[in-house]
Amino acid sequence: MLKGNAIVGQSGGPTSVINASLAGVIDAAVRSKTIDRIFGMRFGIEGVLNDFLLDLGAESPQTLKGLRMTPSSALGSSRLKLKEEHFEPILRKLKRYDIRHFFMIGGNDTMDTIHRVVEYAREHGYEMHGVGVCKTVDNDLFGVDHTPGFPSAARYVALSVLQGGLLARDMQRVDQFTIFQTVGRSAGWLPAAAACAKRSPADAPHIILMPERPFQLDAFLEAVSEAHRKYGFVSIVCGEGITNQDGSPVSASQVKDNFQNVEFGAMGGTSVAMVLHRIISQRFGWRGEFQVTESLLMCAADRAVKLDFDEAYGCGREAVRLAEQGVQGVMVTIERASKPGEPYRSQFGTIPLRDVANAARPMPDKFIHRDGMFVTKAFLDYVRPLVGELPAYADLTIKRAKP
């Protein structure tokens, strides 16, 4: 067993349950016989570079208990892309604090950071175990059934489209269409989750646009016209990263982050919802509205799923357990242990960091309708146990009264 201190950081975008994973790491580390102290990185890997570490073992039990239900990233996040000149000072700081267990909670870029730091340490004769804890609302990490944060964000989307769909239906004489945009650069898991809101063909959403399928203008406009003809209004959900057939973003944004990911809707670009709004208005002359939630679905603890909190916390504890056993260079994963139709069950697994780093997991073809603008029953079977039951609202019997 490798004895010494441990460090944990959070990176990338937050989720409603990322702090539950942090609490799991802290709780397990405090009880560990191989870990003496547990430190936290202030603002991700920048906290190591800037020698800004927190003594997490000194936090009160009340704080740690509350942390399990607190949204956003309590340690502070970062999107720093490591360069070669960063590794030597990082290793020097880690040695200074006798860090032998290196944990980070995040997505594929975060797993890349862990992998590179631990490999650099190994190449320079310093033994350190690195274990990643999966996280992302996008649900696009390779090798998982789903990621902590996705179920709660998916529920946020489903509830928003359910409730906004009622508004759109009843305000159709004012606004003939609505567009709800979700985050997600290259995968359609979140916009697809809106389908949970649909109980009947007339219910929102009518059209779901996912990055896995190229945007086809003529087919889209035909679908918009058909939905309006049938239902009197049109509800559209789109992922921020949908692209044209030539691969260019529909949003036309050219702003990129430090990892060269396009920042859709950032300064210098236009949100895809605004583009679609303009297309529909110009084609049909209708009035409509668009809703761009951006990071709200990443921190809405009031709509979070208990299952999500529990699995996120368990992932954090599992990471420490693996490190204690000498397992390193892996990310903790959630695997579905139940079959369709059975009560939902999950278990933890692992995947090598090198297989996750900088890789993405799009929605499989079996989850996407053949027209590319909705989902299949297979996807609903997959996502509904994660989202949970949605409210059943009352509908009036729309029948003209007689005198």
pLDDT tens across 153-174, in order?
999 999 999 999 999 999 999 9
* Shared-domain flag, residues 180 and 291: yes
The average pLDDT across 230-246 equals: 96
* Shared-domain flag, residues 312 and 351: yes
* Shared-domain flag, residues 16 and 117: yes
Count of domains in the chain?
Answer: 2
Query: Is residue 373 situated within a structural domain?
Result: yes
* Shared-domain flag, residues 22 and 163: no
Query: Is residue 257 situated within a structural domain?
Result: yes
Q: What is the pTM of this model?
A: 0.93
How far the first Cα of the chain sits from its last, in Å, is: 85
Residue 331 has pLDDT above 90, yes or no: yes
**35-41 and 53-55 strand pairing:** antiparallel
The average pLDDT across 97-107 equals: 97
pLDDT value of position 259: 53
pLDDT value of position 319: 98
Query: Is residue 393 situated within a structural domain?
Result: no
pLDDT value of position 261: 52
Query: Is residue 396 situated within a structural domain?
Result: no
pLDDT value of position 258: 54
Q: Are 23 and 61 a contacting pair, CB within 8 Å?
A: no
* Shared-domain flag, residues 161 and 144: no
Q: What is the DSSP letter of 375?
A: B
* Shared-domain flag, residues 334 and 370: no
Establish how many alpha carbons lie within 13 A of residue 205's alpha carbon, considering only the half-sphere containing its beta carbon.
25
CATH number at residue 350: 3.40.50.450
Task: Domain of residue 166: give its range.
Answer: 154-298+362-387
Query: Is residue 32 situated within a structural domain?
Result: yes
For the chain, what percent of residues have pLDDT higher than 90? 90
The average pLDDT across 183-203 equals: 95
pLDDT value of position 360: 84
Residue 93 has pLDDT above 90, yes or no: yes
* Shared-domain flag, residues 380 and 237: yes
Query: Is residue 27 situated within a structural domain?
Result: yes
The average pLDDT across 19-23 equals: 98
* Shared-domain flag, residues 112 and 243: no
pLDDT tens across 362-379, in order?
999 999 999 999 999 999
Residue 107 has pLDDT above 50, yes or no: yes
Query: Is residue 40 situated within a structural domain?
Result: yes
pLDDT tens across 252-302, in order?
744 445 555 544 444 345 789 999 999 999 999 999 999 998 889 999 999
* Shared-domain flag, residues 229 and 273: yes
Out of 27, 138, 140, 308, the active site residue is 138
CATH number at residue 289: 3.40.50.460
84: buried, middle or exposed (CB in 10 Å: 19+, 13-18, 0-12)? exposed
pLDDT tens across 171-185, in order?
999 999 999 999 988
* Shared-domain flag, residues 108 and 225: no
* Shared-domain flag, residues 260 and 382: yes
Active site residue 175: no
Beta strands in 141-198 (DSSP E): 177-182
Residue 381 has pLDDT above 60, yes or no: yes
Mean pLDDT over all residues of the chain? 94
pLDDT value of position 1: 76
pLDDT value of position 264: 46
* Shared-domain flag, residues 369 and 293: yes
Query: Is residue 398 situated within a structural domain?
Result: no
What burial letters (b/e) apply to 2-11, b meaning 16+ CB within 10 Å?
A: eebbbbbbbb
Residue 297 one-letter amino acid? L
